Structure 1
Amino acid sequence: MAVDKWTLLGIPTSVPTAQATAENYVMTGTSEFSHEIENELRESIKGNRKDWSGGVVEETISVTFPYDPTFTADRDFKDACKYGRQMRFWIIDNTLVGTGETAKHNSTFAYVIPESRSLSVDDESDTIEVSLKVKLNSADGEEPKLPDEILDPSLAGQVAYETIGAATGDLENATTQEV
């Protein structure tokens, strides 16, 4: 799927970026997304012909991803939509530009306000659809190389086999696990 070549990240402006963890805010399993830039052209008549000039520019980001009641970002989209709150949003191309320690990802960043958030349920899946309006404009830039756990979610948090009685406590503090 082409969508696997992209990483999407949405963080409420009330959450310090340094405290935003990948498992809470990186949208994995995204089934589709789009970033639309629309120019509302102005029409004028010149010599019995129509002429066009640039007008108001509007940007919309739409994302569809699987419903997961534990996914923090979905709860944040819902709250931001209900209460008109802003979020920071990144669209990151997973393809690396450059090599070695200077390798980077092309990225687009925007402040957004969710216009709509909907839960769609059918006999095959539960999905969330979010439409985000970009405040003023998006900006293109670069992000440093993303960790492998973000680029390949299957690498994140693997549970190792443990024999009965080998450890006590929760997964996060079990001596047999390196999660």
Structure 2
Amino acid sequence: MAQKNYLAVVRPAKDKLDPTDALLLADLQEGGHTIENDLAEIIRGGKTDYGVNAVSEEFKLTIGNIPGDKGIEQVKKAIKNGEQLRVWLYEHNKRDDGKYHGVFAYTVPESYEMSFDDEDNKIELTLKVKWNSAEGTEANLPPEWFEAAGAPTVEYESFAEKVGSFEEQQAAASSGTGA
């Protein structure tokens, strides 16, 4: 099941889809952004000290696999060709400043793992950040990004307001509640 705190967008640096499209990981089930220090161990006077050699970052994203999805296929092809990916990870809700906060990075894919069992069909991505990530904000994000896998949202309706299935609903005849 998709988590509700973050939106992730992954797009190959050499994009082959329409410029306004991206692979939105609407079914982002799990994920994370890790920042690590590669430490140097320094021995001084019989004691251990540490210094930082380098800082590295990575994203780990788990998404639902949608067979035939053009965005997923494009990302898979980019990974097979050793190409870079762009990654944006946004908080799902605006903060007090009225903006969506996020982090952006160019990444080098380390792994793409598709797995399935009797309950899940998923893809796990491990993406190493090239140089560093950068934090930023957006005043607005496309509304369709908030609709998981393009799923419509069911709105509350009063008893006897409509009839028919979700796909074929119609306003009910105004005969009252039938009581």
Q: RMSD between aligned alpha carbons?
A: 2.5
2:3 aligned partner: 3
Residue 60 (structure 1) shift: 1.1
Q: Quick check: 1:11–1:20 contact (8 Å CA) kept in 2? A: no
How far residue 144 of structure 1 moved from its aligned partner, in angstroms, is 2.3
TM-score (norm 2): 0.77
**In structure 2, how many angstroms separate the alpha carbons of the residues matched to 1:135 and 1:40?**
15
**Corresponding residue of 1:170:** none
After TM superposition, the structure 1 = structure 2 runs for residues 71-150 of structure 1, keeping only pairs within 5 Å, are 71-98=69-96, 103-150=98-145
**Aligned equivalents of 2:50, 2:101: Cα separation in 1:** 32
- 2:36 corresponds to 1:41: no
Cα offset, 1:77, TM superposition: 2.5
Unaligned runs of 5+ in 2: 154-165, 171-179
Matched, 1:15 2:15: yes
Q: TM-score, length-normalised on structure 1?
A: 0.77
C-alpha separation in 2, matches of 1:46 and 1:73: 53
Check whether the contact 1:112–1:133 (CA below 8 A) recurs between aligned residues: yes
CA contact (8 A) 2:31 2:62 kept: yes
Q: Which residue of 2 is the match for residue 166 of structure 1?
A: none
Instruction: Please state whether the residue corresponding to 2:4 is helix, strand or coil.
Output: helix
Q: What SS does the corresponding residue of 2:125 show, helix, strand or coil?
A: strand
Provide Cα deviations, 1:115-169, integer angstroms capped at 9, x if missing partner. 110111112121111111110010011122223322243447xx85389xxxxxx
User: Residue type matched to 2:47 in 1?
Assistant: R
Distance 1:94 1:55, change over 3 A: same
In the aligned structure 2, how far is the partner of 1:18 from the partner of 1:140?
26
Cα gap change, 1:18 to 1:127, in 2 (>3 Å): closer
Identity %: 31
> Is the CA contact (8 Å cut-off) linking 2:2 and 2:28 kept in structure 1?
no
